[in-house]
Amino acid sequence: MSRVVKLAVIPGDGIGPEVIAEAEKVLAAATAGSDIRFDKTRFELGAARYLATGDTLTDDDLDAIKAHDAILLGAVGGVPGDPRLKDANIERGLLLRLRFELDHYVNLRPARLYPGAPGPLADPGAVDFVVVREGTEGPYVGNGGSIRRGTAHEVANETSVNTAFGVERVVRYAFDLARRRDRRLTLVHKTNVLVNAGSLWQRVVGEVATQYPEVAVDYLHVDAATIFLVTNPGRFDVIVTDNLFGDILTDLAGAVTGGIGLAASGNINPDGAFPSMFEPVHGSAPDIAGQQKADPTAAILSIALLLDHLGLASEAGRVTRAVEADIGARSAAAPAAGRTTAQIGDAITARLQA
């Protein structure tokens, strides 16, 4: 009896298709011989599609994607400053729309420094934490506007919207995760300035904490958190934070743990009402697109997150260990060691097949 997973694949723009090709090889190798089968549908979405058709994400696209069990996304976004994209906001219209419409309230971003991975810190120590970034609220809601636009009297507002419902569900997820890990949870916010949103986050964490007495809780202002990320990243186990602070902290965390060429993420709807989406944290990097220069590792680690999400923990573990072995074999001086995108993907695939 085989299980069929309907997987929507959105290779996207720039290096997206290149890294997704490797991720798909790894997915196949990791599940070969198992009773799981992936029924894949490709969706050609992104800047290229917008330029060709004027569409970013139609309602039909969205309905079709919703009919899947999970989504694998490469990267979306055109060449910065392309005048033809001036009126499009591919990020908001496609990536953020998917996160919001599919209620991806958990944006899961592990930060682990693999032995052998290059990094900017002189003495990072062991780094292994997860950022649980809220994905459907906060400053990302698109609740802003401007008046007297283009005049000397313009006023432009952006409103961060935070709800008890939205904060509690992601905080609960973070506590559950912390309980399965090293049982330490850090709330990051800016409660001394953003007093209303900050107070809500702090009260919710305080209340949920009473149900997780085994989890040690602390709090850091976002500015202080960035300091610790470079001076003592080992202090973190699970960080829970809002959409914008999570965006900032995870790019920094990616840099600290070997670069965003290694950083994977899951946009998760834990309720299962909608398909969850797995994607590298990096963007489409149009400047190196089509040249086989991109590191597919972040996309491949996103496969591990996907497998984990599907309950295939042992397959996920195999992917992670194959990546770990590949990274360990890289030389610190030349991380990609002259290998093409496909060569890195093939090397990791070969380890899985060995």
Ligand X SMILES: CC(C)[C@H](C(=O)O)[C@@H](O)C(=O)O
Q: How far is the CB of 107 from ligand X (least distance, A)?
A: 8
Q: Which of 79, 161, 209, 216 binds a second copy (CB under 8 A)?
A: 161
Site track for a second copy across 59-88, x = CB under 8 A: ------------------------------
| Inter-residue contact 95 to 135 (CB < 8 Å) | no
Pick from 14, 1, 13, 19: nearest CA to 303: 19
Sheet holding 276-280, edge to edge: 36-42, 3-12, 70-75, 276-280, 264-268, 106-112, 128-134, 238-241, 184-189, 216-221
Site track for ligand X across 183-212, x = CB under 6 A: ---------xx-------------------
Q: Which of 91, 101, 168, 346 binds ligand X (CB under 6 A)?
A: 91
Instruction: State which of positions 218-277 bind a second copy (CB under 8 A).
Output: 222-224, 226-227, 229-231, 244, 247-248, 250-252, 254-256, 259-260
Instruction: State which of positions 188-207 bind a second copy (CB under 8 A).
Output: 190, 192-197, 199-200, 203
The H or E element spanning position 16 is helix 16-31
Q: Assess whether 140 carries a catalytic annotation.
A: yes
Residue closer to ligand X, measured from CB, 309 or 339 = 309
Residue closer to ligand X, measured from CB, 281 or 310 = 281
Confirm or deny that 23 is annotated as ligand binding: no
Q: 44-76 burial, b if ≥16 CB within 10 A, otherwise e?
A: ebbbbbbeeeeebbeeebeeebeebbbbbbbbb
Confirm or deny that 99 is annotated as ligand binding: yes
Q: Assess whether 190 carries a catalytic annotation.
A: yes
Q: Assess whether 247 carries a catalytic annotation.
A: yes
Using CB under 8 A, which of the segments 15-23, 37-45, 217-225, 320-328 binds a second copy?
A: 217-225
CA–CA separation, 205 vs 194, rounded Å? 16
| Inter-residue contact 41 to 64 (CB < 8 Å) | yes
- Non-local CB neighbours of 10 within 8 Å, separated by 6+ positions: 16, 42, 43, 45, 46, 71, 72, 73, 74, 76
Q: Assess whether 223 carries a catalytic annotation.
A: yes
Q: Assess whether 251 carries a catalytic annotation.
A: yes
Q: How far is the CB of 30 from a second copy (least distance, A)?
A: 29
CA–CA separation, 129 vs 113, rounded Å? 9
Confirm or deny that 60 is annotated as ligand binding: no
CA–CA separation, 113 vs 344, rounded Å? 18
Q: How far is the CB of 317 from a second copy (least distance, A)?
A: 29
Place of tokens 């008046």: 147
Reduce the DSSP state of residue 205 to 3 states and report it. Answer: helix
Instruction: State which of positions 223-252 bind ligand X (CB under 6 A).
Output: 223, 247
Q: 249-286 burial, b if ≥16 CB within 10 A, otherwise e?
A: bbebbbbbbbbbbbbbbbbbbbeeebbbbbbbbbbbbb
Using CB under 8 A, which of the segments 156-164, 173-181, 301-309, 314-322 binds a second copy?
A: 156-164
**What sign has the CA pseudo-torsion 114, 120, 126, 128?**
negative
Instruction: State which of positions 94-123 bind ligand X (CB under 6 A).
Output: 95-96
- C-alpha 289: how far from chain center: 20
Binding to ligand X by residue 71, rule CB under 6 A?
Answer: no
Q: Which of 157, 211, 338, 354 binds a second copy (CB under 8 A)?
A: 157
Q: How far is the CB of 179 from ligand X (least distance, A)?
A: 26
Confirm or deny that 160 is annotated as ligand binding: no
Q: Which residues bind ligand X (CB under 6 A)?
A: 91, 95-96, 192-193, 223, 247, 281
Binding residues for a second copy (CB under 8 A): 89, 91-92, 96, 119-123, 139-140, 142, 144-146, 148, 150-165, 168, 190, 192-197, 199-200, 203, 222-224, 226-227, 229-231, 244, 247-248, 250-252, 254-256, 259-260
Which parts are annotated binding residues for NAD(+)?
283-295
Residues with a catalytic annotation lie at 140, 190, 223, 247, 251
